[in-house]
A and B are shown apart, each in its own frame.
Chain A
Amino acid sequence: MNWTWLHKFASPPHAYRLAGRLAPWFGWPAFLLIVVGLYGGLVLAPPDYLQGDGFRIVYVHAPSAWMSMFVYGTMAVAAAIGLVWRIKLAHAVAAAAAPVGAWFTFAALATGALWGQPMWGTWWVWDARLTSELILLFLYLGFIALRSSIEDRDRADRAGAVLAIVGVVNLPIIHYSVYWWNTLHQPSTLTRFGKPTMAGEMLWPLLMMLLAFTLYFAAVLMVRLRAEILRRERNASWLKAELGR
């Protein structure tokens, strides 16, 4: 198979320019979708008959939780590409994505706690979703910590990549064992949260927010990737020419 197209994408100058060009194309739709989605979710959607207005945090919580997993997947795929084809840019993508993913995970945990306070009566419940999100946060922090502890960039890239792949293999095991553990200890927490039984006028803002968060991630990733490339290529001659324009 011919992989030259991949290498063209992988050249830092090309990627730097492409990321700069793509960022607004992801960013503006994300912004518009967030505005419309939030209006639909916070104003147009009727209050839930059980949870009242409290359910509305789902419009931030569910997309954050979705992104926490999506970003980890992206990171692991990028890391695997970097490891297999020795493409440094892929490692840069993984490095740029990790903190964003960690923040999404934190946002999912924080909004989960905020939702739990009125619904469960406590800030924190050892619920399966919250617990597996917490472990996911630990995995992100481990990835970031490992990368930052290794001085040599090439080693940091590849060691991080191995860790990301090990993590992604373990994620389903962690997820299902936490669910098993949870059903054992508390059989009936409120789990009708975010299931597709939602009414249409509640559902469409949620889907819109999911798309918006994904696009937002893509936009932020592009910006962070540019920063990462700048950091890595700070002595390269193409960069001086590029910035001296």
Chain B
Amino acid sequence: MTATTAPQATWLLYRRDLVLAFRHWDQVLQPVVFFAMITTLFPLAFDPDLGALREIAGGVLWVAALLAALLGLEFLFRADHADGALEQLLLSGQPLSLLALAKGFAHWTICGLPLVLVSPLVAIALGVPTEALCTVALSIALGTGILSAIGAIGAALTLGLRRGSMLLSLLVLPLAMPALIFGARAIDLAIHGDSARGPLLLLAAMLVLALTLAPLAIAAALRISAE
């Protein structure tokens, strides 16, 4: 029997998480429904006029995406922690930061990617012109990626705590604010027909930084929490 290499282990863990998630189709859809619902609140609370909605569309889309992605984070490590799979991952001898990256990426695929796919539709409902839809999807894709990376640190730190979900939001939201600033700005620029290249590049840089450093922090946090 040959030993499993680190990339193999990473891939296996990623696939396992996807298989487990898609056994419960309806749960995958929950963040998407939540996202659509939050964006529905704004026309009801403000002004149903598309011209007025267009002015706040970037912010609305981003706040809704942040909250929807935050919702799923709590469950990122919970089941593995409860059934002991997390201990097995810690003891597997594989680099834990890579495994953490696999878990984070799986979370993004399950929770972030559906938001990305549905965001152009929601954007149209908020009066965003069709030329800007590409920027909307790209901005939400980069942003949910950053949130999955940073949020996984929070999820690992609050693992198994009472009232962990409230705490998780307290820890993660301040760290996600820079992404919100650039992401919402990119959509705003695109809506007004300007180039959103600058904020998008900065957002991409943040994602690269988060992907580089967050796995180390997630691994450290998991070791602390699983003891």
Contact of A149 among B161, B174, B213, B220 (CB under 8 A): B161
A184 near B185: Cβ-Cβ < 8 Å? yes
Contact of B177 among A149, A159, A165, A174 (CB under 8 A): A174
Question: Which residues of chain B are near A138, meaning CB under 8 Å?
Answer: 170, 173-174
Instruction: Judge whether A24 is part of the interface by a CB distance below 8 angstroms.
Output: no
Instruction: Judge whether A158 is part of the interface by a CB distance below 8 angstroms.
Output: yes
Instruction: Judge whether A120 is part of the interface by a CB distance below 8 angstroms.
Output: no
Contact of A174 among B153, B178, B221 (CB under 8 A): B178
Instruction: Judge whether B148 is part of the interface by a CB distance below 8 angstroms.
Output: no
Per the CB 8 Å criterion, the residue count for chain B at the interface is 29
Please count the residue pairs between chain A and chain B whose beta carbons lie under 8 angstroms apart in the complex: 72
Instruction: Judge whether B6 is part of the interface by a CB distance below 8 angstroms.
Output: no
Question: Which residues of chain B are near A149, meaning CB under 8 Å?
Answer: 158, 161-164, 167
Per the CB 8 Å criterion, the residue count for chain A at the interface is 27
Q: How far is the CA of A155 from the CA of B159 in the complex (A)?
A: 11
Q: How far is the CA of A59 from the CA of B157 in the complex (A)?
A: 39
B171 near A142: Cβ-Cβ < 8 Å? yes
Instruction: Judge whether B121 is part of the interface by a CB distance below 8 angstroms.
Output: no
Shortest distance between the CB of B5 and any CB in chain A (Å): 28
Instruction: Judge whether A35 is part of the interface by a CB distance below 8 angstroms.
Output: no
Contact of A169 among B157, B170, B213, B221 (CB under 8 A): B213
B173 near A166: Cβ-Cβ < 8 Å? no
B157 near A163: Cβ-Cβ < 8 Å? yes
Question: Which residues of chain B are near A166, meaning CB under 8 Å?
Answer: 150, 153, 175, 217
A167 near B175: Cβ-Cβ < 8 Å? yes
Interface residues of A in 103-162 (CB under 8 A from B): 135, 138-139, 141-142, 145-146, 149-150, 155, 158-159, 162
Tell whether A162 pairs with B221 under 8 Å between CB atoms, given A138-B174, A177-B178: yes
For B164, B167, B170, B202, which residue has the most chain A Cβ atoms within 10 angstroms? Answer: B170
Shortest distance between the CB of B207 and any CB in chain A (Å): 12
Interface residues of B in 176-223 (CB under 8 A from A): 177-178, 181-182, 185, 202, 206, 209, 213, 217, 220-221
Q: How far is the CA of A143 from the CA of B223 in the complex (A)?
A: 19
Q: How far is the CA of A127 from the CA of B58 in the complex (A)?
A: 21
Question: Which residues of chain B are near A162, meaning CB under 8 Å?
Answer: 153, 157, 217, 220-221, 224
Q: How does the 8 Å CB contact mask read for B29-55 relative to A, with 1 for contact and 0 for none?
A: 000000000000000000000000000
For B150, B162, B178, B220, which residue has the most chain A Cβ atoms within 10 angstroms? Answer: B178
Shortest distance between the CB of B206 and any CB in chain A (Å): 7
Q: How far is the CA of A149 from the CA of B225 in the complex (A)?
A: 13
Instruction: Judge whether B26 is part of the interface by a CB distance below 8 angstroms.
Output: no
Question: Which residues of chain A are near B174, meaning CB under 8 Å?
Answer: 135, 138-139, 142, 174
Instruction: Judge whether B83 is part of the interface by a CB distance below 8 angstroms.
Output: no
For A145, A150, A158, A166, which residue has the most chain B Cβ atoms within 10 angstroms? Answer: A166
Question: Which residues of chain A are near B224, meaning CB under 8 Å?
Answer: 155, 158-159, 162
The residue of chain B having its C-beta at the shortest distance from the C-beta of A131 within the complex is B177
Tell whether A178 pairs with B181 under 8 Å between CB atoms, given A159-B224, A162-B153, A163-B171: yes
Q: How far is the CA of A150 from the CA of B159 in the complex (A)?
A: 10
B158 near A146: Cβ-Cβ < 8 Å? yes
A159 near B178: Cβ-Cβ < 8 Å? no
A142 near B170: Cβ-Cβ < 8 Å? yes
Shortest distance between the CB of A171 and any CB in chain B (Å): 10
Question: Which residues of chain A are near B157, meaning CB under 8 Å?
Answer: 146, 159, 162-163
Question: Which residues of chain B are near A146, meaning CB under 8 Å?
Answer: 157-158, 167, 171
Instruction: Judge whether A173 is part of the interface by a CB distance below 8 angstroms.
Output: yes
Q: Name 12 interchain pairs, CB-CB below 8 A, sorted by A.
A: A135-B177, A138-B170, A149-B163, A149-B167, A159-B225, A162-B153, A162-B157, A163-B157, A166-B150, A170-B175, A173-B206, A174-B174
Residues of B within 8 A of A (CB): 150, 153, 157-158, 161-164, 167, 170-171, 173-175, 177-178, 181-182, 185, 202, 206, 209, 213, 217, 220-221, 224-225, 227
